[in-house]
Amino acid sequence: MSTVTSRTRADAASEPADRRPTRRLRPRRNRSGAGVHVWDATPLTRIAIGATIILSIFPLYWMIVVASRDASAATTFPPPMTPGGNLGDNVSTAINDDSSNLVKGLINSFIVSGTVAFSVVVISTLAGFAFAKLRFKGSTVLLAIILLTMAVPLQHIGIVPLYIMMIELGWVNTLQAVILPFLVNGFGIFLMRQYTIQAVPDELVEAARIDGASTLRIYWNIVLPAVRPGIAVLGLLTFMQNWNEFLWPLIALSPDNPTVQVAIQQLTTGNYSADYSMIFTGTLLSILPLLIVFIAFGKQIVGGIMEGGVKA
């Protein structure tokens, strides 16, 4: 056994340096044993990061402070900096307020945002795959038209003709009126096209075609798993955009059938004064679904952002 070992070592020593097996480098580990790289930040960098975190969190904290106090908390000076004890009463009042229909607004916004996000993701991944990996006549012209739709604010320019169209269809004060105009998104198509170009090699698609896979099977078995982080990012951005939409739902829907942003606007004590504690309470309730969506898809979203940063 020792003779064999000594011979093996001798052969390895006599082997040329360029043929010797290279030793794989491993990331430095901290004391807890986690395989992470050690990054030494300067004090100025730490101060900048801390200030950014504080500035980002403070508006949310201030919203909670006002939502947990009475109506005068937002206008008193100096303003209170600690939460009060009225959060439960304010939440109950906001939910049971018949003039705002906040609960119905939450349900309507969830239906609208979820439907639009699902449609945009499906259509954008299909169109992005077609523009990225398929060759057909007129693809350049169609892509240019899609880019032009991103440059022109069609939602604001086309509000009047869009509202006339909803009247002709009989969809005023229905959820179809706030769903149909947003089912297709030019930004989503362009985003998924760029992501598909980077995430799916042409050789992989060609190999699948040689094996006899159809275009639909290539899309389902190869493209979708590869672009999953991009789908998560696009789905979250689309959901947030439609969840925060205010102008078009205010025009197309009535106060009895609002979305959540319109319902928050109706949380007032009178015609001339606004109860800011109730408005902030409604805002606090409105961001909870966004937090749930981010927690559910946060891993995919961060993975997609990090992967895009590494590729860039």
Domains delineated in the chain: 43-91 (no CATH), 104-266 (1.10.3720.10)
Count helices and strands in the chain by DSSP H and E runs: 16, 0
Residue 38 has what pLDDT? Answer: 40
User: Could you tell me which of 189, 190, 184, 187 has the C-alpha nearest to residue 115?
Assistant: 184
Residue 302 has what pLDDT? Answer: 65
Are 255 and 101 within 8 A, CB to CB? yes
Rounded average pLDDT over 186-212: 91
Amino acid sitting at position 298: G
Prediction pTM value: 0.76
CA 203, CA 209: separation in Å to the nearest integer?
Answer: 10
Q: What is the pLDDT of residues 17-65, one digit of tens each?
A: 445 454 444 444 444 444 444 456 688 888 999 999 999 889 888 888 8
**pLDDT-derived band at 305, boundaries 50, 70, 90:** low
In this model, does residue 260 exceed pLDDT 80?
yes
Are 147 and 188 within 8 A, CB to CB? no
Residue 39 has what pLDDT? Answer: 55
Q: Which of 10-19, 80-89, 216-225 has the lowest mean pLDDT?
A: 10-19
Are 179 and 115 within 8 A, CB to CB? yes
Are 114 and 183 within 8 A, CB to CB? no
Average pLDDT, the chain: 80
In this model, does residue 308 exceed pLDDT 70?
no
CA 157, CA 64: separation in Å to the nearest integer?
Answer: 37
User: Could you tell me which of 86, 91, 79, 71 has the C-alpha nearest to residue 281?
Assistant: 91
Q: What is the pLDDT of residues 277-292, one digit of tens each?
A: 888 888 888 888 888 8
Residue 304 has what pLDDT? Answer: 58
